[in-house]
């Protein structure tokens, strides 16, 4: 049986342990929800103050040039690219994940209309993050061109779903609920072999696992910066497009920032070459500028080291729950195999909602997802082995004592 | 002839003069570009620090509930509604103006497909803000349903453009370049009479002129919060939908935030009732929160008083330029008639670009728009009559001395 001393010893050996000092974590909190909203890099407040006081307050409109606002989506994109196996000028930080999915979907659909016009099926997964499915539904409804959504129930169903009328496959690299991870290279190859293009949603992958976009020969990817990348609440998302596809289609959210000559005020649209055509309207500069603080922390570490620590901590979490909470009805729904999971661990519990509220009241902040799912995000940059021990110990105490069964923990006021 | 003393006397009588104290304006700057990026309300820095340090840093994911992030788009929308003649639950602050135009356009097109399916023309104006035209082109290209864009050259052409196949008219209430303003009620009535729906872009109108959305029986409106509403660089935009249209169409950018039950994680999309269905993905909270600071300043004043001062200052600007710069080749392109102009004044000058750079170097910050246009935005909340005098005096000096004709003022490094 593991002990807390073992965990402290592991922390003492941990080469990433000092990175926690680059984040503000509130006193008394063990934060296991960095997969929903990442913690705050200490640099964020001063960066934000610089944007508001100096760039906006003093620079005013001049800051589009002097503070480099116009270059921000591409400059941050190039930094982010290094964390997801992408190249220079292949990523922009902009808009929201949902909107970027719409752009990627429109581009993929149009490329297929040119190359293989008979293909009218868009495949996704029933357990995909809901907004991804909603955006696909929205586009299908708008197009009125006979497109259909085909939802698979699990990874095994993909092979039979890939019929000759499939145009696009849109999947999340890491599942938001279970933490299950697809083999990006294998699934991309499988889809390509069957003539489909693939869009990867990296929301629960970017900054958490090694993402091999170019090595996997992927087509499109979107994702968010406010989870494992610690960009701040609702910080702008990103889109990656393989270089071979970038200039093939004029994506329909064609605002001024994606124009070839955005300040010429031309009266018709001409898309910029390359990834910049996936920009649309004016971006929220203050929120966007802080994205760099999170990226700059992550870029100090090798993603392989982040991944190794993530696997160590999730292994530890699973082992401790087995050892210490074994008699309680917790069902692990995250794959145990390293190659098949991301950086969070999820359990079903018949009273999952109340148990999570009791945990949060004790300072262990994870989150709850329908149905009955307790979700614990593991962020190697600001969590250690003893944190995992302490979190599981509080979970054990709540379960052993039954202290989750209080009226206030059953109230569903929560919106997230 | 007016004198500077006359201007100072007018400032002494000005009931809005004290509002300037609620903004940070840099020393030595006369800011005539609030129609591009509004100045910073003094409250913005502390609001921003509260979001970053407390709501994000300490509240973390809990702030979706405890700090009211989930309610922000609607709560700010309800404040903004009062400034544009809209009602409760008719406005949300979200995304960008370009994206909101796409949503409105999709909704308007779909409503017409149901009501008058033969209508396939979308009318706009050649001199509309380019991104509006680009977004229309993007949607037409995506739909592949035989829609066509018809661009009119001026307001007079609208009547003959309104043929029986026109589905939607998309116009800017105040033109970004000339400052010309449409009569919203008259044009809306004209379009309705001919069977078309109207989308108004209020980017250069909201916070600057009295906008009568409901009184004009308008259909849709979009606009930005970072110009006359002083929301901060790239702060999220807004969309207004007349109550009668809100539930008629599922707009295609159908992300989680517009879902009827956003946290049920349902596997198919069901649009929320009312204006909330025009939300899409997660919003940039830090940038959005600061929008409230600008709204809170504007809500202390009656829009009629803002408008009266705006007209007084733009009249003054025009008069002073005539009196003091009359011998120079400045051509006023802004309508003189009060009912036909917004809150900025524009001139063509053969060396407009260099003249504007020379002005900016002297602290008079306006902006330049192709072709040859000097644009001066007048923001009654933080500008006075003497500011206008001083700005025109510097313009006169630059023109009289020819000091604009230096190599550095001809360099087109500017991106805005």
- Sequential DSSP letters for A133-161: HHHHHHHHHHH-SS-EEEEESSGGGHHHH
Residues of B marked as catalytic:
129, 201, 226-227, 375
pTM of the model: 0.97
Q: Is A1 exposed, middle or buried (0-12, 13-18, 19+ CB in 10 A)?
A: exposed
Q: What are the residues whose beta carbons fall under 8 Å from the beta carbon of A382, sequence distance 6 or more? A: A19, A20, A22, A23, A25, A31, A34, A39
pLDDT of residue B60: 97
Asked whether the beta carbons of A238 and A211 are under 8 A apart, the reply is no
Task: Residue window 350-409, chain A: list those with CB within 8 Å of chain B.
Answer: 360, 365, 367, 369-370
Question: What is the secondary structure of A182-195 as a DSSP string?
Answer: --HHHHHHHHHHTT
Beta strands in B154-225, from DSSP E residues, in sequence order: 166-172, 197-201, 220-223
pLDDT of residue B416: 47
User: What sections of A28-153 are H helices per DSSP?
Assistant: 43-49, 63-66, 72-81, 97-115, 130-143
DSSP 8-class letter at B38:
P
- The torsion region of residue A384 among left (phi > 0), alpha (psi -120 to 50) and beta comes to beta
Residue of B124, B105, B114, B112 lying closest to B164 (CA atoms) = B112
Cα distance between residue B29 and residue B54, in whole Å: 33
pLDDT at B415: 52
Mutate which: A25, A38, A287, vs B, most B CBs within 10 A: A287
SS3 B396: helix
CA A34 to CA A55: how far, in whole Å? 29
Q: Which of A185, A234, A187 is nearest to A210 (CA)?
A: A185
Whether residue B91 contacts residue B80, with contact meaning beta carbons closer than 8 Å, is answered with: yes
Respond yes or no on whether ipTM tops 0.95.
Answer: yes
The answer, for A142 touching chain B at a CB cutoff of 8 Å, is: yes
Catalytic residue among A375, A376, A387, A396: A375
Q: Are A348 and A331 in contact (CB under 8 A)?
A: yes
Low-confidence ranges of chain A (pLDDT < 50): 414, 416
Q: For chain B, what is the largest distance between any 2 Cα atoms, rounded to a whole number of angstroms?
A: 71
In this predicted structure, what is the pLDDT of residue A265? Answer: 81
Instruction: Indicate the SS3 state at residue B117.
Output: coil
A286 contacts in chain B (CB < 8 Å): 48, 232-235, 284, 286-287, 290
A106 has a chain B CB within 8 A of its CB: yes
Nearest chain B CA: its distance from A259 CA (Å): 9
Which of B284, B290, B365 is the best residue to mutate to test the A interface, defined by the most A CB atoms within 10 Å of its own CB? B284
User: Which residues 6+ apart lie within 8 Å of A254 measured at CB?
Assistant: A269, A271, A277, A280, B134, B135, B137, B138
- Judged by CB atoms closer than 8 Å, whether chains meet at B45 and A57 is answered as yes
> Tens of pLDDT along B218-249?
999 999 999 999 999 999 999 999 999 999 98
Contact B139 A102 (CB under 8 A): no
Residues (pLDDT < 50) of chain B are 414, 416
Chain B touched by A33 (CB under 8 Å): yes
B313 near B338, Cβ under 8 Å? no
Nearest neighbour of A284 by CB, restricted to B70, B145, B235? B235
Candidates B53, B265, B414; nearest CB to A65: B414
Contacts of A236 in chain B (CB under 8 A): 284
State whether B280 and A62 contact (CB < 8 Å).
no
> Each residue of B376-387: pLDDT tens digit?
999 999 999 999
- Closest CA in chain A for residue B139: A252
Contact between B121 and B167 (Cβ < 8 Å): yes
Indicate left, alpha or beta for A37 from its phi (over 0: left) and psi (-120 to 50: alpha). beta
pLDDT, residue A116, reads: 96
**Do strands A40-41 and A23-24 pair parallel, antiparallel, or not at all (unpaired)?**
antiparallel
Residue of chain A minimizing CA distance to B262:
A415
- On the question of a cis peptide bond just before residue A371, with omega within 30 degrees of 0, the verdict is yes
Closest-CA residue of chain A to B291? A284
Q: Is B151 on the interface with A (CB under 8 A)?
A: yes
A130 known ligand binder: yes
CA A62-A63-A68 angle, to 5 degrees, is 130
How high is the pLDDT of residue A416? 47
């Amino acid at each position: 049986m593991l002990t807390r001393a073992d965990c402290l010893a592991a922390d003492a050996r941990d080469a990433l342990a000092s990175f926690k000092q680059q984040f503000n974590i509130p006193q008394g909190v063990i934060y296991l929800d960095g997969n929903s909203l990442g913690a705050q890099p200490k640099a964020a407040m001063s960066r934000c103050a610089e944007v508001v006081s100096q760039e906006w307050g003093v620079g005013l409109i001049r800051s589009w040039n002097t503070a480099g606002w116009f270059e921000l989506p591409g400059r941050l994109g190039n930094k982010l690219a290094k964390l997801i196996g992408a190249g220079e000028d292949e990523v922009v930080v902009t808009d929201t994940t949902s909107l970027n999915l719409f752009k990627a979907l429109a581009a993929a659909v149009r490329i297929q209309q040119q190359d293989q016009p008979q293909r009218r099926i868009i495949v996704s997964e029933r357990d995909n993050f809901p907004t991804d499915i909603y955006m696909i539904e929205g586009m299908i409804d708008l197009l009125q061109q006979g497109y259909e959504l085909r939802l698979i129930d699990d990874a095994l169903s993909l092979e039979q779903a890939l019929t000759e009328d499939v145009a696009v496959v849109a999947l999340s690299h890491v599942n938001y609920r279970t933490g299950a991870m697809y083999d990006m290279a294998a699934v991309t190859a499988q889809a390509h072999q069957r003539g489909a293009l693939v869009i990867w949603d990296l929301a629960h992958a970017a900054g958490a696992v090694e993402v091999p976009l170019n090595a996997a020969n992927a087509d499109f990817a979107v994702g968010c910066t406010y989870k494992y990348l610690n960009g701040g609440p609702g910080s702008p998302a990103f889109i990656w497009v393989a270089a071979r596809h970038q200039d093939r289609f004029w994506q329909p959210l064609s605002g001024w920032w994606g124009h070839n000559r955005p300040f010429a005020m031309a009266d018709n649209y001409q898309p910029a070459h390359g990834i910049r055509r996936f920009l649309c309207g004016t971006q929220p500069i203050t929120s966007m500028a802080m994205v760099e603080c999170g990226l700059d922390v992550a870029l100090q570490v090798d993603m392989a080291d982040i991944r190794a620590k993530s696997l160590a901590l999730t292994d530890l979490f699973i082992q401790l729950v087995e050892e210490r909470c074994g008699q309680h009805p917790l069902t692990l729904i995250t794959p145990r195999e390293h190659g098949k999971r991301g950086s969070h661990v999820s359990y079903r519990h018949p009273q999952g909602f109340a148990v999570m509220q009791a945990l949060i009241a004790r300072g262990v902040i994870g989150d709850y997802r329908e149905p009955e799912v307790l979700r614990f995000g593991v962020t190697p940059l600001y969590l250690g082995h003893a944190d995992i021990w302490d979190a599981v110990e509080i979970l054990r105490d709540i379960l052993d004592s039954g202290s989750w069964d209080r009226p206030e923990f059953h109230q569903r006021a929560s919106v997230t």
